[in-house]
Chains A and B, each alone.
Chain A
Amino acid sequence: MRTNLLFFLFALTFSSYSQDKYTISGYVRSAQTGEELIGATIAVRSLNTGVSSNVYGFYSLTLNEGSYEVSYTYIGYQEIKKTIELNENVELNIELKETVNELEVVEITDEAANKNISSIEMSVNKIDSKTIKKIPALLGEADVVKSILLLPGVSTVGEGSTGFNVRGGGIDQNLVLLDEAPVYNSSHLFGFFSVFNPDAVKNVKLIKGGIAPEYGGRLSSILDIRMKEGNKKEFTGSGGVGAIFSRLSLEGPIIKDKASFLIAGRRSYADVLAKPFLDDNLSGSQFYFYDLTAKVNYELNSKNRFFLSGYFGRDVFGSGFLFNWGNATATLRWNHIFNEKLFMNLTGYYSDYDYAFGVEGDDEDDFEWSSSIVSYSVKPDFSYYLNNKNTIRFGGQSIYYDFKPAEAKFASDGQTNDISLPEKFAMENGLYIQNEQKIGARTSLLYGIRWSHFSYLGEGVKQTYRDTTPGIRKPLESEEFFDKNERITSYNNFEPRLSIKYELDEVSSLKASYNRMSQYLHLISNTVASTPIDVWLPSTNNIEPQIADQIAVGYFRNFKNNMYEASAEVFAKDFQNQVDYIDNADIFFNEQLEGDLLTGDGRAIGLELFLKKNKGKFTGWVSYTISRSERQVDGINNDDWYPNRFDRLHNLSVVNSYELNEKWSFSANFVYSTGTPATFPTNRYEIQGIVLPHNVDNARNNYRIPAYHRLDISATLTPKKNENRRWKGEWVFSVYNVYSRRNPFAIFFEQNSDDPVVTEAIRFSVIGNFVPAVSYNFNF
């Protein structure tokens, strides 16, 4: 914090130089809902300069004394021009009206038309909830994470699996933020759906490269999900009845233009529908998932705003056993404007992921097991709008972690025992400073550094293992006990970040970036798709922090008056300290888990092409990625490099939407990707009549399963309604996997159960048929 304070003073000194300059500052909001607009453009065309509003809708523009015409634009909204006599600092809050005819301008992103050219950001994709809702989805259920899979550089190990892979990184390398609180497991139903209710989502931003110093803690991406604030003008609601979920969200003012709320819930009801058809002895089985998202915000005065938001969701399964998992997050934020140039956001959050498993036993025989990761954080961020050339951001973050790898007890024939693993504690700190600097009209730079520090804390045990041949379980050599809050091990890293943009002309630019990221948390998962019971663990003396360096270069070009935007980016990434596992690793209830872990290096390289049509009746995008993602771990694959399980050479997504008229619109998307690698045997041998596979080369991921491709379509019918009626409904008809392709998730080998001497290659498809669905959405 001392550094922050110093910088703050430094910044204040700096500002006192410019006597003849004044600042226009304020918020940009929607006139309809009162919600702040993220990334609205505030421009002075005569000077060819401008800024954009930050994630809280705040802007600050410093100019020489004089008279200016300032324009406020935001896609999908009508431009407002203000003439300002600037001879003192001006506070100006602007409300933009939505464009009346929605069909003419259909926004794909919240950006000003050529933002992708002029902004310093690269390797960034934004989707708003309108776009997410247009994409045909499994069972008609719009889904944030599944939409992200359609973007360049993003892939998945297979249908229905948890999470996503960005530019060759593992699923635990994405920092998934819901209103700034990290979400440790973003899936419902093992990964078929994500936990984010699209009705409550305002903006989704995926940052794959050129990651600014303000972000840290994960190697590969930041998925920044911002929830709606709640309508400040009037009470509204929306919802839907779908094949899997029912949704309802309500929002409205608490004090008009001052305070508003949003509450949104979803519940699956497969269990409710199935109940009458179940046998008596199955009627006790439980099978559902739900989530609840809520937010309130309060504007105390023009300088201070408060936001309180939270998420709570769970999946519950049970039938003779009870299994449930879920996240809970709470975020409290304070936006404070010190003066027209200095904006602060202070965030405090709590985030928890936990699961519990138990058998419905009696006292004699019982098993109860739970596990959790809980984190608490404080995070101040400052934006200092030095002048119209320099925007300085600085801040820090402290996170305290409490890991419960396993809390378990069991009883066998009346004897009980506690088999819990010890809790682990850790503290992660970060400090950053960055400056976004414009040099001339065409060039801008974003440079800065993040310093991160991690302590693995007591109460705990420092285990030391003896080195063995890589790939063999490491034997425990010694143990040392540490008291509460005593430091067991600590690490720190300097993470330089740099982005450069050069505008070739009005419609094209070149951008390049470098970032180093470090990550102190590791998701311990040894399965193809991550399971809900996978455990997060801190870096320890045996598990070193993961580090990644990435460079990316891109060319950005818009066509036809920004109707089309195109980009081509190449990236190269180098990973250190990637966690892997010995064969036969025991990752649950293992006090000596660290002896079963291996570490290795990773590398990824790729080219991403993206073409998007933003306006007109026909909108959508084509995304193509060619990439390779590999790792090298001593003890696996004869110590040679091998492709990651989620590596896919080609990855194509075509996403289209066509608005035929006010009644009908249609969407379709097609995806194609190279099959994932798999390990196939060469030989068989028999032990006790069991035929076993064997690979004489001891190879990992030596084959490819067939390519994945799929077409989904949907049609939306909006019946004509009386204009004065508030209730507006729409029907969405969708078909997922139209041509019923049996896309292999995996190919595995086993004995035929009727004729054990025969062995077979089995293609396992998660969804082997087309899946039609109808849903009804409404708002009022």
Chain B
Amino acid sequence: MRRFIIYISFAFLFSSCEDVIDVDLDQGKSQLVVDALLTNDSSLQIIRLTKSADYFLNAPTPSASGANVSVLGPNGKTFAFTNTGNGVYTYDPSTNGRLDSVGFVYQLNLVYENKTYVSNSLLNPVPLVDSITYSFEENELGQEDGYYAQFWATDFFGRKDFYYIRAFKNGVSINQDNPSSLILSEDAAFGGNGADGFPFILPIRASITNGDDPFALGDISSVELLSMNRDAYEFLEQVTIQANNGGLFSTPPANIKSNIKAADGSSQDEVLGVFSLSSISKNSIQITQQ
């Protein structure tokens, strides 16, 4: 429901303003960062290892190489990730099979500088995206003229589900200019327990169009629906909050909790980042004359 607060904060009368200022910040120690959002399909699976850096580095953070990265699957099967340079570790499912045993808890194993880190992710099922529909809408408060798309899918009934939804216009993410505004859904709604087994609610269905840049004839609208575990979902939820946490109704800034731990349980917050294995379902449509 936090998103609701964004609604109300744009109702401002006054000349509130934002400007960029210089701030001196303390420096902190660099930590290993794991960016591992994996899917059950046949696409190339990528894990990126980097190091945290000074906040105002204003350059890509340094990559972490020399790690040994693998994911442990059912029956002791290990999916080894290969270092392809720049901290990018990949696994090609066409070589040794997909990570697609729904209901199995996959384990990330990562050895870096002689220390082992682990994280678990249960592979949850994901509903089909039945269809994408669209209609032409004239400009309204904060949105442009154009075609607005909605995706149709129904949450599984009788279980708590978490979803991450990615939307694209002609293959490019729709939230390029605001990468941290992720589309997340708890069952079929923003939160709570009431939307179990429902079609995704209207604001989520309609979130696959960027109001500043809606679709035109000939464009392709596509959507990916990913199942999540609670811990990875909450990680992403924190990403949307902490990456843009300003204004009257901001919440206290806090570090985002990683779901990756040192295997020996030594220090809790040694690594940053997230590991998640998702089932993915996709759909797309070309916008044509109606």
Contact A757 B60 (CB under 8 A): yes
Q: Which residue of A lies closest to B57 (CB)?
A: A684
**CB 8 Å contact bits of A355-367 with B (1 = contact, 0 = none):** 0010101000101
With A and B bound together, what is the CA distance between A190 and B16 in angstroms? 14
**CB 8 Å contact bits of A750-769 with B (1 = contact, 0 = none):** 11010011111111111111
| CB under 8 Å from chain B, chain A span 723-780 | 742, 745-751, 753, 756-769, 771
Nearest CB on B from A279, distance (A): 8
Is B127 close to A, CB under 8 A?
A: no
Is B202 close to A, CB under 8 A?
A: yes
Nearest CB on B from A701, distance (A): 8
With A and B bound together, what is the CA distance between A532 and B57 in angstroms? 38
Interface residues contributed by chain B, number (CB under 8 Å): 86
Nearest CB on A from B277, distance (A): 15
Is A551 close to B, CB under 8 A?
A: no
Contact A528 B248 (CB under 8 A): yes
A contact residues around B189 at 8 Å (CB):
410, 412
Contact A766 B14 (CB under 8 A): yes
Q: Which residue of B lies closest to A366 (CB)?
A: B202
Nearest CB on A from B71, distance (A): 18
| CB under 8 Å from chain B, chain A span 555-608 | 581, 583-584, 586, 588-591
The stretch of A246-254, A384-392, A689-697 in contact with B is A689-697
Contact B255 A748 (CB under 8 A): no
Contact B274 A687 (CB under 8 A): yes
**CB 8 Å contact bits of A676-711 with B (1 = contact, 0 = none):** 001111111111111111111110100100000000
With A and B bound together, what is the CA distance between A761 and B22 in angstroms? 7
Is A541 close to B, CB under 8 A?
A: no
Nearest CB on A from B171, distance (A): 16
A contact residues around B35 at 8 Å (CB):
686-688
Contact A757 B37 (CB under 8 A): no
With A and B bound together, what is the CA distance between A691 and B244 in angstroms? 10
B contact residues around A745 at 8 Å (CB):
247-248
Is A419 close to B, CB under 8 A?
A: yes
B contact residues around A747 at 8 Å (CB):
21, 23
The stretch of B72-80, B94-102, B176-184, B280-288 in contact with A is B176-184
| CB under 8 Å from chain A, chain B span 269-283 | 269, 272-274
Is A722 close to B, CB under 8 A?
A: no
With A and B bound together, what is the CA distance between A240 and B60 in angstroms? 58
Contact A684 B53 (CB under 8 A): yes
A contact residues around B241 at 8 Å (CB):
584
B contact residues around A742 at 8 Å (CB):
17, 19
Instruction: Select A687's contact among B25, B31, B273, beta carbons within 8 Å.
Output: B273
Contact A192 B17 (CB under 8 A): no
With A and B bound together, what is the CA distance between A498 and B260 in angstroms? 55
Is A189 close to B, CB under 8 A?
A: yes
B contact residues around A532 at 8 Å (CB):
8
Contact B18 A418 (CB under 8 A): no
Nearest CB on B from A317, distance (A): 5
With A and B bound together, what is the CA distance between A192 and B201 in angstroms? 34
- Given A317-B11, A415-B198, A584-B238, the answer on whether A160 and B138 have CB atoms closer than 8 Å is no
Is A477 close to B, CB under 8 A?
A: no
A contact residues around B193 at 8 Å (CB):
419, 591
**CB 8 Å contact bits of B180-216 with A (1 = contact, 0 = none):** 1000000011011111001111100000000000000
Nearest CB on A from B233, distance (A): 10
Instruction: Select A528's contact among B22, B201, B249, beta carbons within 8 Å.
Output: B249
With A and B bound together, what is the CA distance between A161 and B54 in angstroms? 33
| CB under 8 Å from chain A, chain B span 244-262 | 244-257
A contact residues around B11 at 8 Å (CB):
190, 287, 317
- Given A281-B139, A686-B33, A756-B179, the answer on whether A693 and B248 have CB atoms closer than 8 Å is no
Contact B248 A285 (CB under 8 A): no
With A and B bound together, what is the CA distance between A285 and B25 in angstroms? 43
Contact B28 A526 (CB under 8 A): no
Q: Which residue of A lies closest to B33 (CB)?
A: A685
With A and B bound together, what is the CA distance between A764 and B178 in angstroms? 18
Instruction: Select B252's contact among A161, A418, A526, beta carbons within 8 Å.
Output: A526
Instruction: Select A192's contact among B13, B28, B243, B253, beta carbons within 8 Å.
Output: B13
- Given A319-B141, A682-B55, the answer on whether A586 and B191 have CB atoms closer than 8 Å is yes
Interface residues contributed by chain A, number (CB under 8 Å): 92
Q: Which residue of A lies closest to B154 (CB)?
A: A413
Contact A531 B8 (CB under 8 A): yes
With A and B bound together, what is the CA distance between A693 and B61 in angstroms? 12
With A and B bound together, what is the CA distance between A270 and B188 in angstroms? 38
With A and B bound together, what is the CA distance between A683 and B242 in angstroms? 13
Is B115 close to A, CB under 8 A?
A: no
With A and B bound together, what is the CA distance between A380 and B8 in angstroms? 41
B contact residues around A684 at 8 Å (CB):
52-57, 61
Is A527 close to B, CB under 8 A?
A: yes
| CB under 8 Å from chain A, chain B span 31-84 | 31, 33, 35, 37, 48, 50-61
Instruction: Select B250's contact among A359, A527, A698, beta carbons within 8 Å.
Output: A527
Contact B195 A685 (CB under 8 A): no
Contact A763 B141 (CB under 8 A): no
Q: Which of B7, B152, B274 has the most CB of A within 10 A?
A: B7
Contact A531 B5 (CB under 8 A): yes
Contact A190 B248 (CB under 8 A): yes
Contact A681 B4 (CB under 8 A): no
- Given A415-B199, A768-B16, the answer on whether A757 and B59 have CB atoms closer than 8 Å is yes
Contact B19 A762 (CB under 8 A): yes
Q: Which residue of A lies closest to B251 (CB)?
A: A526
Contact A685 B50 (CB under 8 A): yes
Contact B58 A693 (CB under 8 A): no
Is A333 close to B, CB under 8 A?
A: no
9 nearest A-B residue pairs (beta carbon)? A419-B194, A696-B28, A748-B246, A682-B28, A768-B17, A589-B192, A588-B1, A583-B254, A365-B202
A-B contact pairs, 15 of them (CB 8 A): A281-B140, A320-B140, A365-B201, A413-B152, A528-B249, A589-B194, A679-B253, A683-B53, A684-B52, A686-B33, A696-B31, A746-B248, A763-B21, A764-B16, A769-B15
Given contacts A693-B243, A759-B55, 15 further A-B contacts (CB under 8 A): A281-B140, A410-B194, A412-B200, A413-B199, A528-B251, A531-B8, A584-B237, A682-B26, A683-B28, A683-B31, A696-B28, A703-B23, A748-B250, A757-B59, A760-B20
